[in-house]
Structure 1
Amino acid sequence: MINWDNARFFLAVARTGTLRGAAAQLDVDQATVGRRIAALEETLSATLFLRTPALFVLTPAGEALLGAAETMELAALSIERRIAGLDDQLAGTIRVATTDSLGKRFVVPAIAKVRRAHPGIEIVCVTSAQIANLTRREADVAIRTLRPDAPDLIARKLAQLEMGIYASHEYIAARGEPREGEAFDGHDLVMYQQSVSPSMRAALCGEPTSRGRLVFQTQSTAMLFEAVLAGFGIAELPCFRADYEPELMRVMPHRTEPFDVWLVAHADLYKTARMQVLIAAVAEEFAQAR
């Protein structure tokens, strides 16, 4: 019989391609990963990986095992969520996934309120441009700008916010303000990398970027702000933060881009006491911003 604990080591190596990557994902040492893979191969009397100098590559036997191991993983995670969902205590850990910008303005103040009222609740906050997989418990709750369509997730709309176009006072003094309809002619632009926001390449808040010069790219909203504050160029930024930066000014104020913010949680965890306390605090922070 396949041991689930060994199967999760197999999945980690299959997904990362290396013992080192799997060890980092599982928070163990490489030797432990190697032993678990060897034990699983011995149990199955099959070689699951082709060892190359750079990567561990699945053999046909490994490929055959992959789907079954993923099914085991989903079953184990479902058990964890259902047990956690029975918890009515205002204690324990909540993993929160959000962006650095939403985190700074809304989520951290909400967490502060929760911690003051319920010190037994511990928070792990994961900030990333990537969407956390709640089904695999990469997070328990997410505050993000995309509404999920998975049937096992509950989504609650928190607010509709807006983006605007901003530059530093220093930049405007040196280069002048861009004018609507000129597609940023003669101006420098600061943007997310295309993999993060493909639509931004064509326009900022509806103003075409075809005549502008892209001078800086990043995956991070925090770095986007820093680049604009440093006078690198013009960027599309969330108004809830940019309006409170004294070194920034909004240009083309009629150009705006609304976006929705959603709180997303797995149905198995949504009604736990600690989750409800955090959800209420986060919703209150967004309500105050309207």
Structure 2
Amino acid sequence: MTPNWDDMRVFLAVAREESLSAAGRQLKIDPATVGRRIARLEASLEAPLFTKSQQGYLLTAAGERLMEHGLKAEEAMRAAAGAMAGTSKTLSGQIRIGAPDGSANYLLPQVCAKISDANPDLDIQILALPRVINLSRREADMAVTVSAPTAGSLLVQKITDYKLHLVATRDYLASYPAIRSIQDLSGHRMIGYIPDMIFDRELDYLVDIGVDRVALASNSVSVQLRQATLGTGVCVAHDFTLPFHPNLQKILTDQVSLTRSFHLVRHQGDQRNERLNRFAQALTQGIREEVERLEAQVSP
């Protein structure tokens, strides 16, 4: 028996969420119905698709094979829907963007609000995670990343460069020994990422500077900046975040100035989806303009 698309949607949701209840919330149906649909699909295919473990519902070998075909079917359905939606003047439906929390907190809210104003029937979701977004399992429709991925069937577009500098509060700088060189940082409390949770080499800022100890660490940029604004130490900050933290001051700008880039990453199969193409264009332009606007407000 050939699976119908409704059953395949349920299967893909469980495969991604690894939970009947989470899949049900995504699909807006109750978990018992999700379970019955999976049981019906397994019976029709005469193969178990999931194993139940402490981690949740995990794909069997048969499930992995079905997943490959399910993703292709999903891409075809999305392309068809996108082609039809692309004829409308405004966008509708739901689009989810994955992003590291720096851009998710300081750039995407205002960029997405502007896109939403122009497309009132569009639902935009921002998935902020301190790790690489798994596009192959459709955790998101597209992702903003710091490094451009080199593996997988993906569309990668550079959005813009952005700057980072060392910062601390004026009160902190007035209360502790002067920082005139990188070597002086050894006498100060450093704030940064948890070393073994840095998911992208481009985020390992302090190693690039030569700092080998992080006294206050978090996997979240927002937490690091909050710690810095409390006057507890020195951290590396994106220049575009500084207008939101006026008590932070850049230091050692003549010795430490980092440049990184944002990229937009999408599924290769979505290149024919006019709806997602239009959204991606608005998103990249919005991020580019917002970085430029915020960095222009920061003193050299």
TM-score (norm 2): 0.76
Matched, 1:69 2:67: yes
Rounded Cα–Cα distance in structure 1 between residues aligned with 2:204 and 2:132: 23
Rounded Cα–Cα distance in structure 1 between residues aligned with 2:163 and 2:237: 9
Rounded Cα–Cα distance in structure 1 between residues aligned with 2:133 and 2:230: 31
Structure 2 matches for 1:55-66, cutoff 5 A?
55-56=56-57, 62-66=60-64
Aligned to 1:207: 209
Secondary structure, counterpart of 1:119 in structure 2:
coil
| Change in CA separation of 1:287 and 1:171 when aligned onto 2, cut-off 3 Å | closer
Aligned to 1:159: 160
Q: CA deviation at 1:197?
A: 4.8
Structure 2 matches for 1:135-150, cutoff 5 A?
136-149=137-150
Gaps of 5+ in 2: none
Q: CA deviation at 1:252?
A: 2.1
Structure 1 window deviating more from structure 2 (193-202 vs 76-85): it is: 193-202
Matched, 1:218 2:223: no
| Contact 1:13/1:19 (<8 A) preserved | yes
Q: Deviations over 1:251-284 (max 9, x none)?
A: 2222121101223444123575555445444444
| Contact 2:182/2:252 (<8 A) preserved | no
| Change in CA separation of 1:176 and 1:139 when aligned onto 2, cut-off 3 Å | same
Q: CA deviation at 1:120?
A: 3.9
Secondary structure, counterpart of 2:226 in structure 1:
helix
Aligned to 1:285: 290
Structure 2 matches for 1:17-32, cutoff 5 A?
17-24=18-25, 26-32=27-33
Amino acid at match of 1:208: G
Rounded Cα–Cα distance in structure 2 between residues aligned with 1:88 and 1:185: 59
| Contact 1:110/1:285 (<8 A) preserved | yes
Rounded Cα–Cα distance in structure 1 between residues aligned with 2:69 and 2:190: 46
Amino acid at match of 2:234: I
Matched, 1:236 2:240: no
Q: Deviations over 1:70-127 (max 9, x none)?
A: 2222222233134303412113133333344324544333334334444344433333
| Contact 1:146/1:260 (<8 A) preserved | yes
Aligned to 2:271: 267
Structure 2 matches for 1:69-218, cutoff 5 A?
69-86=67-84, 87-89=86-88, 90-93=90-93, 94-134=95-135, 136-149=137-150, 153-182=154-183, 184-193=185-194, 194-197=196-199, 204=206, 206-210=208-212, 212=213, 214-218=214-218
Q: Which runs of 4+ in 1 moved over 6 A?
A: none
| Contact 1:141/1:263 (<8 A) preserved | yes
Identify, as 1 or 2, the structure richer in helix: 2
| Change in CA separation of 1:103 and 1:186 when aligned onto 2, cut-off 3 Å | same
Q: CA deviation at 1:205?
A: 7.1
Gaps of 5+ in 1: none
Q: CA deviation at 1:172?
A: 2.4
